Amino acid sequence: MGELDLKIPQVRGLAFYPGCLEKGQRSEKALKAAVAEMYLNGVSTRKVSQITEYLCGFDISSSQVSKVTQELDLEVKTFHSRPLEAFPVVFLDARYEKVRHGGHIKNMAVLWAVGIDTFGKRHVLGLSCKLSEAEIHWREFLSSLIERGLKGVQMIVSDAHEGLAKARSKSNLRLIDGQEFVDIILRYYEQMDSRYKGIIPLKKVFVPQPIDDKED
């Protein structure tokens, strides 16, 4: 966790680096990851120090724990500010988690967006922890995605939450409801080669069959 200056011998014409140092670097990364994981799970800095002393033979000060968490904060900030590109399909939703806010534990809405790129691969576009799913929070979240370069959105899939619907309508993003989504799937299904329809019986899944209430 500290700094140590070492002189590495130079070999003319050859690339040389001590293998023991590479091993040490991997161990330090693993230790930092463990400290960050403990911190995220609410372990106090005092207990972190006790655990590292028991496992590694030395303790870690609170300032060193803070340094590790600052590096973690930087990675999170980089993730949330990375540029976006074209995502034809975007899924929007929220889930409630217990979060420490203002010195108290509260149920807060974690807004999230997942996009599917032109190659069919899913990406987590962003997360935002808010007090609720109010329109203003969804609008801020969607605006941040657009500012980061989100474009080419042809379809947004989400529930019919009032705050999200209002925010979406003001962000120039198209939203389809569940029935329209099913209609699109069935339309493409009808255009499929008949050889594959038996393998992928989507129509049986999405089209409800009438229920016969008559008793035999």
Q: Check whether residue 125 and residue 54 sit in a common domain.
A: no
Q: Check whether residue 107 and residue 162 sit in a common domain.
A: yes
Q: Check whether residue 118 and residue 166 sit in a common domain.
A: yes
Mean pLDDT along residues 164-183: 70
Q: Check whether residue 149 and residue 196 sit in a common domain.
A: no
In angstroms, the Cα distances linking 149 to 1, 90, 127, 137, 146 are: 38, 14, 16, 19, 5
In a domain, 171, yes or no: yes
pLDDT band at 42 (very low <50, low <70, confident <90, very high): confident
Q: Do residues 169 and 137 lie in contact, with contact meaning Cβ atoms separated by under 8 Å?
A: no
Residue with tokens 């529930």: 159
In angstroms, the Cα distances linking 1 to 29, 33, 40, 66, 168 are: 9, 12, 19, 12, 46
In a domain, 53, yes or no: yes
Q: Check whether residue 143 and residue 189 sit in a common domain.
A: no
Residue 199's pLDDT is: 56
Pairwise CA distance, residues 54 & 56, whole Å? 6
| Pairwise pLDDT comparison (27 vs 158), residue with the higher score | 158
Q: Is the pLDDT of residue 114 over 80?
A: yes
Q: Check whether residue 136 and residue 206 sit in a common domain.
A: no
In a domain, 24, yes or no: yes
In a domain, 11, yes or no: no
| Pairwise pLDDT comparison (48 vs 126), residue with the higher score | 126
Count structural domains, the chain.
3
pLDDT band at 168 (very low <50, low <70, confident <90, very high): confident
Question: pLDDT tens for residues 28-37?
Answer: 677 777 777 7
pLDDT band at 23 (very low <50, low <70, confident <90, very high): very low
Q: Is the pLDDT of residue 211 over 50?
A: no
What average pLDDT does the structure give for the chain?
Answer: 76
pTM: 0.61
Residue 126's pLDDT is: 94
In a domain, 49, yes or no: yes
Mean pLDDT along residues 179-183: 66
Q: Which of 57, 81, 105 is the last residue of a domain?
A: 81
Q: Do residues 137 and 128 lie in contact, with contact meaning Cβ atoms separated by under 8 Å?
A: yes
Q: Check whether residue 118 and residue 172 sit in a common domain.
A: yes
| Pairwise pLDDT comparison (11 vs 153), residue with the higher score | 153
Pairwise CA distance, residues 168 & 143, whole Å? 10
In a domain, 150, yes or no: yes
In a domain, 3, yes or no: no
Q: Which residue segment(s) compose the domain that 35 sits in? A: 19-81
For residue 60, the Cα-to-chain-centroid distance in whole angstroms is: 30
Q: Is the pLDDT of residue 188 over 80?
A: no
Q: Check whether residue 30 and residue 103 sit in a common domain.
A: no
Q: Check whether residue 132 and residue 157 sit in a common domain.
A: yes
Residue 179's pLDDT is: 60
Q: Is the pLDDT of residue 177 over 60?
A: no
Q: Is the pLDDT of residue 22 over 60?
A: no
In a domain, 4, yes or no: no
Q: Check whether residue 99 and residue 169 sit in a common domain.
A: yes
Q: Which of 37, 53, 81 is the last residue of a domain?
A: 81
Q: Check whether residue 107 and residue 161 sit in a common domain.
A: yes
